Structure 1
Amino acid sequence: MQSVKEKAANVAASAKAGMEKTKATVQEKVEKLTAHGEMEKQIATQKKEEKKAEAEIKKQEAYENNAAGTTSAATGVPGRPTGPHPMSALPGHGMDSRPGR
């Protein structure tokens, strides 16, 4: 049975992949409109298909990582935990604020 956290992560991965695929389709349409020949139109279609395939691969990888429980909430990058000493981009965050440390 999938956990709620895993399901939510899968929904997010699916939504992101959908957005990437839509972006690729829109970009293809723009490139076809500005193309100066049939070759440029074919290249635009090929680039779209590659981007869509890449988005699908990333989605499947995210699903696998979510099932394995390796999604790191700290980094937002599946399978890439921050390690024993997480750091933040915010000043003072991720640092030990106790005196003498």
Structure 2
Amino acid sequence: MQTAKNAAASVKETAANISASAKSGMEKTKATLQEKGDRMTAHDPIQKGMATEKKEARINQAEYEKQVAREQNATQRQANEAASTHSYSTTGATGNRTGIHQMSALPGHGTGEPAGHVVEGAVRSHPIGTDTGTGTTLAGHNTKSVGGAGGYSPEHIVDPSS
């Protein structure tokens, strides 16, 4: 699947590069034709020289714009490829890859940082059927654990020295 996306991005970049080259070619042709017309109507060598300089400047500008477009197309393809890579967690939530470290879409997951309020010495516990994530319990309440929505409710914090 990812190979097909990369191939599609490459084809899109190639098409955009062909378009930029065609536009550049048209601008160069127009510059050359304009110069020929200006040289035919010019009566002195200074005007003819100015027409040639104007043509060269237009050709250089067209070539520069083509190169800028090619660089932008390559950058866009790379950005699209980077944005289309996902990581998958066991919960089915997807996240984006960040360099060589796989990150989950779950808050705090994989970052080494806690996802919410943490009390030193308190242990978070999730006995089966007690933490539904809604702040209510389905089974008995364990007074020695931190429970509630997300497990970070301050009213359920137990002093570890007791």
Structures share fold, TM-score greater than 0.5:
yes
1:28 aligns with 2:28: no
- Name the structure 2 match of 1:40: 47
Q: Does 1:69 align with 2:69?
A: no
Identity over aligned pairs, percent: 56
CA RMSD of aligned residues (A): 1.5
**What is the deviation of 1:10?**
0.0
Aligned to 1:36, the other structure's residue is in SS state coil
Q: Which 4+ stretches in 1 moved above 2 angstroms?
A: none
Q: How many aligned positions are there? A: 70
Picking from 8, 11, 17, the partner of 1:4 is: 11
Q: 5+ residue gaps in structure 2?
A: 1-6, 78-162
Opposite residue 50 of structure 1, the aligned amino acid is A
Counterpart residue number, 2:24: 17
Larger radius of gyration: 2
Structure with greater helix share of residues: 1
Q: TM-score, normalised by structure 2?
A: 0.42
Of structures 1 and 2, the one with the larger relative CO (CA 8 A, separation 6+) is: 1
TM norm structure 1: 0.67
In the alignment, structure 1 segments of 5+ residues that lack a partner are: 71-101
